[in-house]
Amino acid sequence: MSHTPPVPAPRPTKARVYGGLVLGVVAVSWAAPLIRFAEAPSLAISAWRLTFAATPLLLLALLRGRAELASLSARIWGWLVLSGLALALHFATWIASLQYTTVASSVALVTTQPVWVALFAWVALSERVGPRGLAAIGLCLAGSVLIGARDFAAGGQALWGDVLAVMGAILAAVYFVIGRRVRDAMSLGTYVGVVYSVAAVALMVAHLFVDSPLTGFTPRTWAVLVGLAVVPQLIGHSLLNASVRHLSAPFVAVTTLGEPVLSTLWAVPLLGETPDWVQLVGGGMALVGVLFMAREEALRQPPPPDMVPAAD
């Protein structure tokens, strides 16, 4: 008796792929402004954001991927735990940076992660970025530095916030590259379900060793924490993860540099943080870099394998 082979899923249109990427960047750009409205310690914000996001993803992974989870080797589990710890530290450092510096500076510096990704992928995965891609990354990085120039000059607490944001970028790159290393061994749903859960547990356990409240917040703060889990995390991250199945990882990573531009715009009416002309020029440079990387992506053949990016 003959069996009809399964029909492969149709490849989405370019409009759908790029539209999803744009919507993902818009979603993650709301993270920093929302965090400013949460009247809670940075560690608690990180812990609850990931806990609320991880719960449905882990349940889905347990329902649909139990056989897949059981088949993972101890080595893969080790990489998953390391990835989750890197993600937890990324959120802990970046969200803490928003207590010391402006939204524009913090988000601009944390989105320098493509530079660190390129470095780590070259060392760990032997992946290289072409000359045009490197030029685009350099232009985006220069624009991000301009956006945060005021804090570099101010020093003190603002400078400490910048340091925390850069640490967040480095840790996000570690999470990004580990995802590229292990994603061939499992589905996306299983990967994020496990990694988000590891990060959430790590942040919850951290409260046992620090004097930081985990409950007792106002209803508005709880609403913000749920909003952070739904909009930047579940919607934003999911769309960015979907994008890298059809677009190169460096392109998706550089495109997320539109986040500081949008976050800066949201901060004007919501937080009264008006950017100066230096920050506006920096935002323009970042956008031009994204356009250069888009041209580089159009010339890439064949499409690269998928990869899990980090976004805030």
Give the per-residue pLDDT at 308: 45
User: How many residues appear in the chain?
Assistant: 312
At 40-66, the pLDDT tens digits run 999 999 999 999 999 999 999 898 888
Token digits of residue 162:
């910048």
Question: Considering the domain boundaries, does residue 21 fall inside one?
Answer: no
Question: Considering the domain boundaries, does residue 30 fall inside one?
Answer: no
Helices 113-125 and 156-182, interaxial angle, to 10°? Answer: 40
Question: Considering the domain boundaries, does residue 310 fall inside one?
Answer: no
Token digits of residue 266:
């949201």
Question: Considering the domain boundaries, does residue 279 fall inside one?
Answer: yes
The tally of domains found in the chain comes to: 1
Question: Considering the domain boundaries, does residue 150 fall inside one?
Answer: yes
Token digits of residue 133:
């891609």
Token digits of residue 49:
């954001």
Count of alpha carbons within 13 angstroms of residue 135, beta-carbon side: 9
Q: Cα(281)–Cα(275) distance, rounded to whole angstroms?
A: 10
Both ends of the chain: CA-CA distance in Å? 52
Give the per-residue pLDDT at 297: 58
At 180-214, the pLDDT tens digits run 778 777 887 888 899 999 999 999 999 989 888 99
Q: Cα(179)–Cα(185) distance, rounded to whole angstroms?
A: 10
Give the per-residue pLDDT at 148: 75
At 262-286, the pLDDT tens digits run 898 899 898 888 877 877 788 788 7
The pTM for the full model equals 0.83
Specify the higher pLDDT residue, 120 or 10. Answer: 120
Question: Considering the domain boundaries, does residue 107 fall inside one?
Answer: yes
Q: What domain range is 164 assigned to?
A: 35-298
At 150-173, the pLDDT tens digits run 677 666 788 888 889 989 999 988
Helices 258-271 and 277-298, interaxial angle, to 10°? Answer: 150
Question: Considering the domain boundaries, does residue 18 fall inside one?
Answer: no
Question: Considering the domain boundaries, does residue 257 fall inside one?
Answer: yes
- Is pLDDT above 80 for 118? no
Token digits of residue 196:
């988000």
Alpha-carbon torsion, ordered 85, 198, 109, 263, to 10 deg: -170
Give the per-residue pLDDT at 304: 41
Cβ contacts of residue 290 below 8 Å, gap of 6+? 136, 140, 254, 255, 257, 258
